[in-house]
A and B are shown apart, each in its own frame.
Chain A
Amino acid sequence: MHCQQKCPNEDGRDCFVRYVNTKVIKRMENFRIRNSTIGNPRLFLLPLSFGVSSVALLHLLDSQLQGQIDRMNRTGYGLLVVHVNMPSTAPTGIYMKRLQQRYPRHTHFHVDLAELFDYPNGILESSGKSGLSQALGAPDGQVSNQDKLDHLLDSLPSATSRADMLGILRTRLLVEIAKKRGCEGIMWGDSTTRLAEKTLAETAKGRGFSLPWQISDGASPHSLVFRYPLRDLLKKELVTYASLTTPPLDPIIIPEQTPQALTSKNTTIDDLVTNYFQSVEESFPSIVANVVRTSGKLSAHQPFGGGERCTICEMPITAGSGGLHGWGGDQGKLGPSSSDPHPVEKLCYGCARSTLGATFSARTASQG
């Protein structure tokens, strides 16, 4: 048992639960009742993957809200809980049902990632050939959303690129949902460990420029507020916590799949980094936290007002720094003869990298 203080309790259980609560409440100070106005509750989207972290977050915030109701008979904010069905996830019906039963206070729903194509003004618009749809070369015509998504993913050059794009598409879908439902922002379930992973993985994918917007609390380039209330808790602490609540959270947590061998052809950069921090977290938990503190000090110089945005991930691009070209490491015409399929598109370095060599351009062209 991981007990921080001298604990009067034999097994340290209460003490640990309080420790976890404290860490979250500290991050949720702005969400007390006195900061809310009656009749106009602030609403936040809580993406729930049925992993231990997001379930723990829901539980913790739900307890905070319960406390507010007990004292004041109203809450400082409301939650909309959403699960995104990813192409690889198993059916979650039974888990959705349990979730609903356990936390009836909130609205719960699930969406398929492919619903991204339904957002009209958006991102994956299928008819207008604008935005992300064009950038990613999704096919036109009478094809189902799922087919479009499959096509898009199949055309990406590697497992790393697919995982990278899936993460971005998921974020963009959640942003669209949050906006449509009138949410002020998104409550992410990322633990310290996850944020440290993100720091290194995004760095490795050439997305270091976007870190200030990816791991810090506050305004995001998607014109929504992003919050990370679990940023001070390690993944392993959340695992412990999930077993200590009454009743435990296990029934609504989908057990993690044992990761495949890291030598497999399908290994991704995210897999490598996750695996790396699993071992670092074991022996050097403070170093994990320090990575997050460190990347948290990176600050975006300009606000994301009028500047250019990446068509795919929506991150701000400083003038002239988009795409793979035009920086020191770009060897100009010396490199492989320009196979960059997006000469016109405004892509950030990371998205240009992930879609380099994607086969969709040719396929889209042949379709008309």
Chain B
Amino acid sequence: MPPSSCAICSSRALIVRPKNHQKLCKSCFLSIFEEEIHHTITTNTLFQYGERVAIGASGGKDSTVLASVLKTLNERHDYGVDFVLLSIDEGIKGYRDDSLETVKRNAVQYGMELCIVGYDELYGWTMDQVVEQVGKKGNCTYCGVFRRQALDRGAAKLGINHVVTGHNADDIAETVLMNLLRGDLPRLSRTTHIITSSPSSPIKRSKPLKYAYEKEIVLYAHHKKLDYFSTECIYSPEAFRGSARALIKNLERVRPSAILDVVRSGEDMAKLVPEEVSAIQRCAGKNEAIQEGGGEEGFGGCGSGGGRSSGGEMIDMERRLNENEAAREREIDIAPANITSKDTPPIQKITVRQQGARTPRKLPRQHMGQCIRCGYLSSQEICKACMLLDGLNKNRPKTKIEVSLEDGEGSSALKG
């Protein structure tokens, strides 16, 4: 069989694009990958000329590719953006130690400023300490909630109001499916927006890799010989995410466009989420969603674990749903049963008793306010991060470490 030629320039094709199986040569692949991201950036007007933007950098493949591509495009298309690398040190031994070294090298390679914010400084707890206390199960909740605030606080410290993250199409597709499985329409709706912002936090988030396939990101990093840290987060993703991730991988195998198609479905479904469910006040920008600060927009805190998980979250949810169901059944039983007479056929009898179940249940409307502790946007009086911290601190064995949430801006987190 003769070697295939590149679909664009006719030189020898070396790469089959995971996204659509198009055969390309190396340089055409690199440039189409970059130009698609440029396309995403320009059609959504992600950046303003002269803006300072923080790249949430973990040292992993996604954020490293993001930083590299943004540097390239910034120079090629003169975005006029001042990019800064912003890293979070969760305090996971053997994970962040090495990946932070990678980020430090990236800062030199890309000539970008670097800022590292530690969980210990922000919350008084490293992830290792959290895991020691709560066990491996459920630690992703902490990781995700803490990380979100950490990035915003780090950005605020730098006087930056825009953070870009490396979430890719696979992440978004996975989150769409996961939120369907979890029954979380508000999150599903938020997930699919390319820009998210919250009224109480001046920090805007965006996802320039929203339509980029994970496999292509890996290919890009490989062919550009990028320096990234490839060990994945050692803490397992929660069961719903693990389950959705496995399904996405299978779907992609059967139909490569499936990842993009799920993202598209997610965008369309976001428009179908009733206002009272979504708790989103749509603002001027068409692609913007306002989101609750306390929770990650449905992305687990930990990068891409192996998909192994205990299933604990699913078991918990199954139990909760069962209890709700039982409560509903009890309500039905109180409905008039007096009509049942001996000669009524059983079916008719049941019909009457079931009537109580028809009243549609009111959906609790979420009211957005600010956390009374830290001022973060929250639907509750106390935000998720502060609640998690309360729980942690209550059970902390002895010396209670003061949490520097109030004066987070004061303490130095600049390490890089």
Contacts and interface: CB of A to CB of B under 8 A. Distances in A.
B334 to A, nearest CB: 15
A312 B314 CA distance: 38
A353 interface: yes
A335 B7 CA distance: 11
Chain A contact surface mostly: helix
A25 interface: yes
A276 interface: yes
B185 interface: yes
Contacts of A289: 321, 325
Given A286-B322, A353-B257, A262 B271 contact: no
Interface string B246-281: 010011001101101111111111011110010000
Contacts, number: 173
Contact of B20 (A268, A285, A327, A336): A336
Interface in A118-168: 158, 160
A7 interface: no
A21 B261 contact: no
Contacts of B267: 327-328
Interface string A279-295: 01001111101110111
B20 A276 contact: no
Given A29-B358, A204-B261, A199 B40 contact: no
Given A328-B43, A332-B39, A22 B354 contact: yes
B62 to A, nearest CB: 17
Given A203-B269, A208-B268, A284-B314, A328 B254 contact: no
Given A284-B314, A287-B317, A289-B321, A203 B262 contact: yes
Contacts of A353: 257, 261
B119 interface: no
B272 A286 contact: no
A349 interface: yes
A25 B258 CA distance: 38
B183 A208 contact: no
Given A203-B262, A204-B258, A329-B264, A71 B321 contact: no
Given A63-B347, A267-B254, A269-B251, A298 B273 contact: yes
Chain B contact surface mostly: helix
Interface stretch (B145-153, B174-182, B222-230): B174-182
A269 B264 contact: no
A284 B318 contact: yes
A329 B263 contact: yes
B211 A18 contact: no
Interface residues of B, number: 66
B357 interface: yes
Given A67-B345, A207-B265, A267-B254, A21 B350 contact: yes
Contacts of A283: 311, 314, 318
A67 B347 contact: yes
B265 A64 contact: no
A206 interface: yes
Contacts of B269: 203, 208-209, 211, 298
A302 to B, nearest CB: 11
B266 to A, nearest CB: 7
Contacts of A267: 254
A291 B7 contact: no
Contacts of B211: 328-329, 331
B48 interface: no
Interface string B287-307: 100000000000000000000
A176 to B, nearest CB: 27
Interface in B327-364: 329, 345-348, 350-351, 354-355, 357-358, 363
Interface in A325-353: 327-329, 331-332, 334-337, 349-350, 353
5 contacts: A22-B354, A25-B350, A267-B254, A291-B183, A294-B183
Interface of B: 7, 20, 22, 32, 35-36, 39-40, 43-44, 169, 176-177, 180-185, 194, 210-211, 243, 247, 250-251, 254-255, 257-258, 260-269, 271-274, 277, 287, 311, 314-315, 317-318, 321-322, 325, 329, 345-348, 350-351, 354-355, 357-358, 363
Given A206-B264, A286-B318, 15 more contacts: A25-B354, A29-B354, A67-B345, A158-B255, A206-B260, A208-B262, A208-B268, A267-B254, A272-B247, A290-B321, A300-B272, A328-B210, A328-B267, A329-B264, A336-B20
